[in-house]
Amino acid sequence: MKKNKNMPLNLREKTNSRAVFFSAVIVLAVLVGFFRQLDYNMIQKPAEAAKREATQKKAEEKKKANTPTVTTATVVAVGDNLYHDSLLQSGQNESGTWNYDHIYENVKDEISAADIAMVDQETVLTKDHDYVSGYPSFATPTEVGDALINAGFDVIESATNHVDDYGADFIEQTLDFWNTKYPDVPVLGIHDSQEDADTVKTMEVNGIRIAFLNFVYGTNNGGPGEGKDYMIDIFDKTKVASMIQKAKEDSDCLIFVAQWGKEEESMPTEYEKEWAAFLMQQGVDVVIGGHPHVLQPYGRMSDDEGNEMLIFYSLGNFVSTQEGLSNLLGGMASFTIQKSVLKGKTEIQILDPVIKPTVMHYNKDEGIFGPYMLEDYTEELASQHGVRNIIGDEFSLENLKKKFNEIMSMNVEPSTRTNLLDVSFDYEMNMTDSRGNYVEDTWSVSAAQYLEEKSSNSSSGSSDSSEGYEDSENSGESGNYDESGEEDSSDEYDESEEYY
C-alpha cells in the first residue's frame, strides 16, 4: 500500500511537535544529568571531601590532645675508675706522651651508645706527671680524663673519699682541667666556689632535663681545709634535702650519686639503707652508689606515701688492678628515662633497669689492661688474667658468673630507722655522733650472714630464703623492693638468662 502523502497538516505538525518535544526532553535530561554531575564533581564532592577531612582532622586533633608526647633518654653508669701504679705505667709511651684510650677499647661501644654515660672518677687529676701516684694516695694524670671523654662518658662523678688525698690544690687542678678543656661536661661533687656548690648540674637530652647530685660519706684526709668546706659535697641531711629540692625545681628527673658503704661488703649497710629511704622520701628518681669496690644488689623502692626510686647500691670497680675476684667483677647500670607530657602535665618513668656485669682484665707482664662486658669475656681470657698468679683457679669465668648471681640473688631489707643520718666518719671509717662519740652499727647484716641464713633456711626446708627479705610486689611493706628491678632476682640472674 502506498503511504498517504496527503496527511492532514495539523496531524503532521503534531507529529513533528512531539518529536521536537521528546528531543528537547532528552536533551534537557542530558543537560540536567550533565550539570548535576558537574555540580557534584565541582561543588558537592569537594565539599564532602572537605567535610570528611575536617571531621578526620578534628578526630586526629582530639586524639592528639589525649595522646601524650613521649621522649626517652638512655643512661649507663659504671663504678670506680681507680688507677693503681701498673695502670698508670701502661699509658706511658717511649715518646714521652701519655695516653689511656686503650683501657676502654672493649667497652667503648656500650658507653657511646647511651644518651648519657656516667663514671666515678675516684681520684683527683694532675697535669704534672711528677706528682702522679697510685695507692694509697692517688693523683691520676689528666690524660685519664681525656680517655674517659674519648670513650664516650658525659658526666664525671668526683665526690669520693680519695678526692682530698693531696688537699685543696689538687681539687682545684682537677676542676681547672675539666672547666678549661671540657667545659660542657658536668663534674659532680666538687667545687671551686660557694656559688658553684650551690648550683645544680643539669643536662638536657631529647627534651628531658636531668639534674645530678653527688655526695660522699666523708674523706680520707678530713676535707680540703678550713673555710673550704664548699669544695666537697659531704652527706649532711639539711644540705642534701635543700639541694634535692633545688634540683627538682629545675629538672624532670634527678639522679643522685652516693659514695657510701663498707669496703669489700656486698650487702648494703644500715647507713646506706637509711640514706636510701631518706633520698626516696625527698623525691630522688635514681640513686647510683659506689665506694665498696664490690657489687651490691639493686632494685626499686617504694613506700605508702607513693614515693618511688630506683637504686643501684654499688656498681663496684670499673677500672682497677685490685686482686680479689669480687673486686674485678663490676657492673654497668643501664636504664631509660621516659618523659610523657599530656595537657601540660609531665610524667617521668624509669624503665628497663638492669646491671650488666663487667670484668676488669689485666696481665701486667704483657701490659694488657681494660674492662670487658662479662658476656664478651672468655675462659681463655680468664686463664691469662694476671690475678691468677695470686688467687689461682678461683678466678675463672664460671666463678665470675656465680659471684654475680650470688650478689644479685640477695634481697635487701629496707630500713625505717634514722639513727645514722647524722653520723660522721673518722679516717678509720668509725662512725661518730655530733658530740664525737663512737656509734656502733648493730643493725647491718653482712653478705656472709645473709647467705648463711639463707642456706640454713633452705636446708631446713623453709620456703622463705630469708625472713624479712621480701620483694615489693609480694610484701606490700613500706620501702620494700625487688632487687631484680622487675621480677624475683633469683630467677632473673639464673645462668640460663640473657647475660650468659
Provide the domain limits for residue 149.
69-408
CATH number, domain at 177?
Answer: 3.60.21.10
The answer to the question of residue 447 being in a domain is no
The answer to the question of residue 489 being in a domain is no
The answer to the question of residue 296 being in a domain is yes
pLDDT of residue 44: 74
pLDDT of residue 429: 83
Helix ranges (DSSP H) in 130-166: 142-151
Q: Whose grid coordinates read 669480687?
A: 326
Helix, strand or coil, per DSSP, at residue 480: coil
- Residue 261 contacts residue 272 (beta carbons within 8 Å): yes
The answer to the question of residue 441 being in a domain is no
The answer to the question of residue 256 being in a domain is yes
Band of residue 474 on the pLDDT scale cut at 50, 70, 90: very low
- Residue 409 contacts residue 429 (beta carbons within 8 Å): no
pLDDT of residue 461: 62
The answer to the question of residue 310 being in a domain is yes
Query: Is residue 101 pLDDT above 70, yes or no?
Result: yes
Mean pLDDT of the chain, nearest integer:
88
Compute φ and ψ for 8, nearest 5 degrees.
-60, 150
- Residue 156 contacts residue 195 (beta carbons within 8 Å): no
pLDDT of residue 19: 75
Band of residue 8 on the pLDDT scale cut at 50, 70, 90: low
pLDDT in tens, 347-377: 999 999 999 999 999 999 999 999 999 999 9
pLDDT of residue 485: 36
Q: What element of type H or E holds 352?
A: strand 345-363
Query: Is residue 32 pLDDT above 50, yes or no?
Result: yes
Indicate the number of domains in the chain.
Answer: 1
pLDDT in tens, 411-453: 999 999 999 999 999 877 899 998 999 999 999 999 999 999 9
Number of Cβ atoms within 10 Å of the Cβ of 364? 16
pLDDT of residue 123: 98
Helix orientation angle between 142-151 and 167-181, rounded to the nearest 10 degrees? 40
Here the cell at position 363 is 696481665
pTM of the model: 0.83
Here the cell at position 197 is 656548690
Helix, strand or coil, per DSSP, at residue 280: helix
- Residue 203 contacts residue 188 (beta carbons within 8 Å): no
Instruction: Please give the Cα distance from 27 to 444 (Å, whole number).
Output: 103
